[in-house]
Amino acid sequence: MTFLKKTDTRSEEQTQTTGLTRRGFALGCGSAAALLALGGTVKVVGSEALCRPPGGQDEDAFIAACIRCDKCLQICPTNVLVPAPLEKGLLNARTPTFNFKLGWCDYCKESHAGVPQCAKVCPTEALKLPEGAKPENVIMGKAYIVKEWCLAWRLKNCRICVDECPYDAIEFNNDGFPVVLLDKCNGCGLCENVCISMISTKIVNNATDRAITVKPTMTVDYLLAKESRSGGRS
Amino acid sequence: MKFIKNIKSKNLRALVIIFISILIIVAGIFNSALSGAGNLSSFGYSLISTVCPLGALEAMMAANTIIPRALLSLGVVVLLMVLVGRAFCAWVCPVPLLQRWFPGYKGKKDHPDNQQKTLDLPQSDSKPAGSGSRGYRIMRSIGFDSRYVVLAGALVSTAAFGFPVFCLVCPVGLVFATIFTIFRLFAFGELTVTLLAFPLILILELVVFRKWCTKICPLGALISLIASVNRFFRINWDKSKCLEVTEGTLCSLCHKACSRENVDPRGKVLATNDLNSCTKCRECVDACPSKAISFPFLPKHKEK
Ligand code: SF4
Ligand code: SF4
Ligand code: SF4
Ligand code: SF4
């Protein structure tokens, strides 16, 4: 392993640290193995589904390319994008997701004539809008109402989300209770943003979140299936 | 200029790193003016932007496609490296600076390398020791070391599992993530385990792996590889000033000063190859008693 000539002026210590010593090789292999193990573990453990900004709807393609650079979070004019915390899984940590308490995604209509800025700045095309993408067909999630927490469902005469929804995706059913029209909702989050149920905690004191929240489509499908199985109690 | 020349390179580097980090943090926090500037993983405005070369490579491997926009930013990075080579590792990356502040940092005084070196000048006309096999010569020409093994591991893992694996634990990313998490705690009251976990992982990496930069960092490895395109600010050893040549003394202070990368500034013959590892930190410039070393903008073609 003599990488060096006789004329070398390096001391023993330095020659040891140059090139690939056996110890260095072991350390390298150890770290490489650790990265393989990390990748495998994270993949096997899986991660929670999250709502993604426009262009990040193909989760596999998104997670393959996102390098957690924060550009999308920083440019979002409504500040609805936040870095996912570690609680959502190591794989999700620092990737962009929504916090609809802070804002809602208007598809950048207000500020940039409907050109999603997040997808525009993403350096690795982790956010990439397909041809012909428009707010109506970019589905970021679905709104879901917890009836026990909803003021209207508790006969309190609230109609805020119904009035605010830009896609007319919430309406009163025949009994006068608000319901989400799943084929119209694109998960923009305005309803969650404006919902006042948590502010009126005196009325609904066991609520842990707002009555209407936006979740990934598959999560909402699961919740609705569970709801109908438990026999339409409400 | 005079002022700048009078500060020690070590402190100048710290200043530059802190300045760039603060710029990134300010751009990130007051994001209306510089919106979407990003962190070090990709910094810049809109399409005029750098991208972490490792991140871009990982993203393309995981997505299994060529990503035109990432290539564009990668082009910007390569252009920068034509100009300044591997300077990122000494002048931009916050990791070595942080390591200086953590316990266990070995200052130069503790460096075990204080024995007398033999006086055996590299003869500029002798041939490099490129006698071995072809693989051996290639390994030598890139200064192969354990970092490349880690780089290979990171890329294989990324290709196998379909996401940029190293990004999850990259200390550079974690530094900015930690700072922005602290900011978000105050700005939005976001209290998450991230706040505790990120700095912990970071400290673990920096304290347990003291030799992170020279032994492990796959980003540094990739940057060293790309640094072979470097054409400007290359190290220049002025033979006519070097004490070993003019007075025949045992000096080697320049080589000793390069305790991190172990580049020999008198290189040419000895260590042509590991010049790609040179981070242009200027420690050797500071160390040389006769000012024989410089980093001229254009290479000097005196002897050829
Ligand atoms: S489309 Fe605009 S408002 Fe919606 S998340 Fe992206 S940047 Fe924010
Ligand atoms: S801009 Fe793209 S790569 Fe950067 S954090 Fe957002 S989604 Fe990820
Ligand atoms: S129901 Fe809520 S999330 Fe769905 S489109 Fe309407 S406001 Fe947006
Ligand atoms: S420190 Fe200066 S004088 Fe000493 S060996 Fe290096 S170049 Fe020559």
The answer as to whether B299 is a domain residue is: no
Closest protein CA for atom 7 of ligand 4: B242
Question: Looking at residue A2, what is its pLDDT?
Answer: 35
Total number of domains constituting chain B = 1
B153, B190, B214: residue with CB nearest A33: B153
Coil, strand or helix at A180: strand
The answer as to whether B304 is a domain residue is: no
The residue among A205 and A5 whose pLDDT is bigger is A205
The answer as to whether B302 is a domain residue is: no
Residue found under tokens 């096997």:
A44
Helix (H) or strand (E) run with residue A214 in it: strand A212-215
- Stretches where chain B sits below pLDDT 50 are 1, 108-131, 269-273, 303-304
In the predicted structure, residue A161 carries a pLDDT above the cut 80:
yes
Stretch A176-183: mean pLDDT: 95
The answer as to whether B263 is a domain residue is: yes
CA of A154 to the centre of ligand 3 (A): 21
Question: Looking at residue B260, what is its pLDDT?
Answer: 78
Coil, strand or helix at A103: coil
Whether residue A124 has its Cβ less than 6 Å from ligand 2: yes
CA dihedral of residues A183, A187, A188, A191 (deg, nearest 10) = 90
| pLDDT tens-place string over residues B258-302 | 877 778 888 654 444 466 788 999 999 999 999 999 998 887 765
In the predicted structure, residue A1 carries a pLDDT above the cut 50:
no
Domain annotation for chain A: domains and CATH numbers: 49-138 (3.30.70.20), 141-234 (3.30.70)
| pLDDT tens-place string over residues B212-224 | 998 899 999 999 9
Query: In this structure, what token pair is assigned to residue A104?
Result: 């809602």
Instruction: Report how far residue A83's alpha carbon sits from residue B192's, in angstroms, rounded to the nearest whole number.
Output: 11
Nearest Cα to B183, choosing from A140, A148, A141, A70? A70
Q: Measured at the alpha carbon of residue A166, what is the angle toward residues A228 and A83, in degrees to the nearest 5?
A: 80
The answer as to whether B301 is a domain residue is: no
Instruction: Report how far residue B138's alpha carbon sits from residue A169's, in angstroms, rounded to the nearest whole number.
Output: 63
Query: In this structure, what token pair is assigned to residue B123?
Result: 């003869």
State what percent of residues in chain A have pLDDT above 90.
Answer: 70
Q: Find the domain containing B20 and state its range.
A: 2-294
Nearest Cα to B203, choosing from B90, B107, B98? B98
Helix (H) or strand (E) run with residue A160 in it: helix A160-164
CA distance A120 to chain B (A): 8
pTM over 0.90: no
The answer as to whether B132 is a domain residue is: yes
Question: Looking at residue B277, what is its pLDDT?
Answer: 84
The residue among A189 and B249 whose pLDDT is bigger is A189
C-alpha neighbours within 13 Å on the C-beta side of residue A143: 35
The answer as to whether B300 is a domain residue is: no
Ligand 1 pocket mutation, candidates A80, A120, A134, criterion most atoms within 8 A of CB: A80
The answer as to whether B303 is a domain residue is: no
